[in-house]
Every structure is written in structure tokens, then in C-alpha cells.
Amino acid sequence: MIEGELVRLRALERSDLPAVVRWMNDPEVTRYLLSAPLYGLEEMDQWYNERRGTDDRVLAMMDRDDELIGYCGISRLEWEERRCNLWLIIGERDAWGHGYGADTVRTMLRYLFDEENLNRVYLTVDEENLRAICLYERCGFRREGVLKSARFKNGRYRDDVMMAVLKRDWSAGT
């Protein structure tokens, strides 16, 4: 269990998957996701099983009332390079705009930098997801570049913004 000010992060459990399926089939939740195929419970269970035995970590995001509001995780963990990719999804729309995203990012960065001794955490975000970009910048991430026409989604090509934060910069008080 990893404790934040507003969230508690724990391992995603198989019993959480029906909520994840509901979120992944909600167009508003998946609007800016880089990849958001429609998932049924069988596909989500396969995705869940494929994470086992890898360095990927998938965590359930719980609010103060112990309600599941989303999930987050890391992928592409490279121990030699001391870096990983961070991602998060707040699936419960009622939880949007209450600070859970920022608290999750800060909690994950504290864990990844202080406990796991990583040096770099990076992510990719849809260029139109200005709310997320601002959140990441408030948490210390800096834009590193734009991948032009990186994806085809909703009938058009979309650009992705690459962002990262280094341990030394995050530790400096960002």
C-alpha cells in the first residue's frame, strides 16, 4: 500500500476488473487515452494476466472512503537506466477535478524516486489533453518534445506530447 494525501494505491485485483471494463468503454474516460480499445471482461482478464511476471505495475487508486476511483501504473521499467513510463486513469467521473490525479502523480513520484531510486519518469499525453498537461507540469514534469501525427484516433491523426521529470529536479521542490 502506498499512501498519498487523498489516495491510497494498492495492487489492482481481479475483482477490480469489472470497474476497469466499465471505464474503458466510457468515451469520456477514454477520450484522450493514447490507446483505448473497447474491452470486455475476458480481454481485461487477459491484460491483467499478461502483467504478471513483468516489471509492469498496475495499482488501484482508492479515495479516502476506500472507493475505487481509477488505476495507475508504470511500464517499460528499465532498471539499468533507472527509468520508467508513468500512466494513470481516473475512471469515476465524479472523482474528476478533486485533486486525485495530482496526488496520485506526486505519490507515485515519491515512491519511484525515494523508494525505488529511479532517476527519470516519463510519460506521453495527447496534445489536446490540456488539463493533464497542466497537472503534470504542476507535479514537476517538463515537455521534451512533440511526436507529430503519432496516432490515428477518432478519425484523425493526433500529436503526442512527451514529458519527463528527473529525480534531481523533483527533489528540488517541484
Q: How far apart are CA 143 and CA 150, in angstroms?
A: 16
- According to the model, what pLDDT value does residue 59 have? 94
CATH number for the domain spanning 65: value is 3.40.630.30
- Residue 153 or residue 77, greater confidence: 77
- What mean pLDDT, rounded, does the chain reach? 90
Using alpha carbons only, give the angle 90, 7, 77 rounded to the nearest 5 degrees. Answer: 70
- Residue 44 or residue 26, greater confidence: 26
Structural domain boundaries enclosing 99: 2-171
The residue-averaged pLDDT of 135-164 equals 93
- According to the model, what pLDDT value does residue 172 have? 53
Query: How many folded domains does the chain comprise?
Result: 1
Q: What is the pLDDT of residues 109-147, one digit of tens each?
A: 999 999 999 999 999 999 999 999 999 999 999 999 999
Pairing status of strand 57-62 against strand 8-11: antiparallel
pLDDT at 155 over 60: yes
Pairing status of strand 8-11 against strand 2-3: antiparallel
> Global pTM?
0.90
